[in-house]
Amino acid sequence: MTKNKLFVGNLPSSLSSFSLERLFTSFGKITDASIIPESSTGRSKGFGFVTFKKEADAKKAQKEMNGKDVEGQGIVVNIIDPKDEEALTNSYHAKRSYA
């Protein structure tokens, strides 16, 4: 299984899927870029995914973009296994209950 998909976290809430794609286009051909929205509000959850055509491009992007400042926030970039995407989507920024 190819490792050509990136998890991108700690994104500014103002960032769109189009802007996310533009951040990574210099590393190679992108087949998909998306910001994950809150289901109730439609606002960004602060993370998304970028999928490259080539695994080598994803590795280069991860190495160079992890920790990069985007609108005052250091973003987190990790290569993920596509089968783990659903688990990440459901668990990242999960609602917490404080008693």
Confidence bin at 86 (pLDDT 50/70/90):
low
Phi, psi (deg, nearest 5) at residue 30 = -100, 130
Check pLDDT > 60 for residue 99. Answer: no
- CA 46 to CA 59: how far, in whole Å? 22
Domains of the chain (ranges; CATH) run 5-91 (3.30.70.330)
- CA 74 to CA 12: how far, in whole Å? 9
Q: Select from 53, 76, 67, 54 the least CA-distant residue to 7.
A: 76
Structure-token pair, residue 59: 């590795």
pLDDT digits (tens, 9 = 90+) for 48-76: 999 999 999 999 999 999 999 999 999 99
Confidence bin at 27 (pLDDT 50/70/90):
very high
Check pLDDT > 60 for residue 19. Answer: yes
The proportion of the chain whose per-residue pLDDT surpasses 90, expressed as a percent, equals: 72
- CA 49 to CA 5: how far, in whole Å? 7
